[in-house]
Amino acid sequence: MDSILVTGNGPLSGTIPIAGAKNACLTLMPATLLSDEPLTLTNAPRLSDIRTMSELLASLGAEVTSMQGGKVLAMSCHGDINTRADYDIVRKMRASNLVLGPLLAREGHAEVSLPGGCAIGARPMDIHTDGLARMGAEIELRDGYLHARAAGGKLKGAVIDFPFASVGATENIMMAATLARGSTVINNAAREPEIVDLATCLRKMGARIEGDGTGTITIEGVESLHGATHPVVADRIELGTYMLAPAICGGEVECLGGRIDLVRAFCEKLDAAGIGVEETKTGLKVARRNGRIHAVDVATEPFPGFPTDLQAQFMALMCTADGTSVLEETIFENRFMHAPELMRMGAEIEVHGGTATVTGVERLRGAPVMATDLRASVSLILAGLAAEGETVVSRVYHLDRGYEHVVRKLSDVGAKIERIKGK
């Protein structure tokens, strides 16, 4: 099994290109099931999760062609459709559940295995299935599969009130509603940039959607959708992660393609910690101001709040801050599994339920550590950049699901990092 060796060696300098958003691309890809015309995505990230979604779509009857080294995905679903999403593929990735809405909308029935993904806590499908049931779907959980069928063979519009702003459920219902009879209103909808990106792509395909980016989204069903070409929005989580690299070990790095509007709440916390962020013509330039960084409290929130997917990385930064910070995780209950690994590097962290108290130390120390999930893996790499000596991060297969060429990107700005092939 591969591992990554990081040696702390001082400030960073240069540019890092930001890839297309994994979470946006994984949402956009199932939209090809809604039309028998081609859907082409540009600026696609080159990740194992993208390959898994390509495999899943191919198993359902779609043609998926990767071009330009994986940065362009050409998809078409013009033939017979298989409406069963098998466990062997779905178990690999949580986003696989996003084929449920499109399959129901186009074919009127579907069998989708319950999904897998990172072990960061319960993420039940109830909010997805309850919304689809409001649209006339009859859904039964049997043998680990959701067996769904639209009454009369076609979904119908409905008013759906989410108990909380679920990103995945918003995406699933949006896609399902594009081909439903009548109008669908989603109240308490998620407002993430990935939602706006999906709505933009669906409109290019002929969907009638209003209100994306707000708490209420309205979709007027149409008879059919057509093909389109759409660029995947920049990955705000990769952006935030690489912005933390010069923050944690000094120097100045420009993140090419970065946008303030994608990470505004995150940037506010960086500013409070003593990290400067400057907009440029090509992205965002980040540099630590004079002296040691300041401790800052953070509570994760749905967008536009502080992202849960940047909590682990920000904790790594706070481990060397001047003072004590409190990090509150409100989204996923098991998302402090990286804390014990950071403590192996000399961090002072106390975890009580959904709250972690971090007292900054002068310097972390390199140590062998183990990644427990996708974001935890990169937080340990960031900690290694600021640590004295060598840090070996094992189980980095998590990393490949969400970060393309992380070793190359960090090496290009002066980090001493290498991937060690397993036996």
Query: Residues annotated as binding site for phosphoenolpyruvate?
Result: 22-23
Q: Are 156 and 135 in contact (CB under 8 A)?
A: yes
Q: Which of 25, 77, 118, 255 is catalytic?
A: 118
Taking alpha carbons only, the member of 91, 95, 129, 126 closest to residue 110 is 129
Q: Are 57 and 75 in contact (CB under 8 A)?
A: yes
The contacts of residue 290 (CB under 8 Å, 6+ apart) are: none
List, as residue ranges, the binding site for UDP-N-acetyl-alpha-D-glucosamine: 94, 309, 331
Q: How far is 228 from 205, CA to CA, in rounded Å?
A: 6
Q: How far apart are the first and last CA of the chain?
A: 7
Q: Are 26 and 194 in contact (CB under 8 A)?
A: no
CA distances 152 to 53, 210, 290, Å, are 29, 27, 66
DSSP 8-state secondary structure symbol assigned to residue 293: P
- Per the structure block, which two tokens stand in for 84? 């069963």
List, as residue ranges, the binding site: 22-23, 94, 309, 331
- Per the structure block, which two tokens stand in for 299? 């509570």
Taking alpha carbons only, the member of 79, 65, 78, 139 closest to residue 104 is 139
Taking alpha carbons only, the member of 21, 17, 378, 1 closest to residue 232 is 21
Phi, psi dihedrals of residue 121, rounded to the nearest 5°: 125, 170
Task: Mark whether 77 is an active-site residue.
Answer: no
The H or E element spanning position 320 is none
Before 304, cis peptide (omega within 30)? yes
Q: Helix 311-318 vs helix 264-273: angle between axes, to the nearest 10 degrees?
A: 0
Q: Are 232 and 24 in contact (CB under 8 A)?
A: yes
| DSSP-assigned letters across all residues of 267-297 | HHHHHHHTEEEEE-SSEEEEEE-SSSPBP--
For the annotated catalytic residues, the residue numbers are: 118
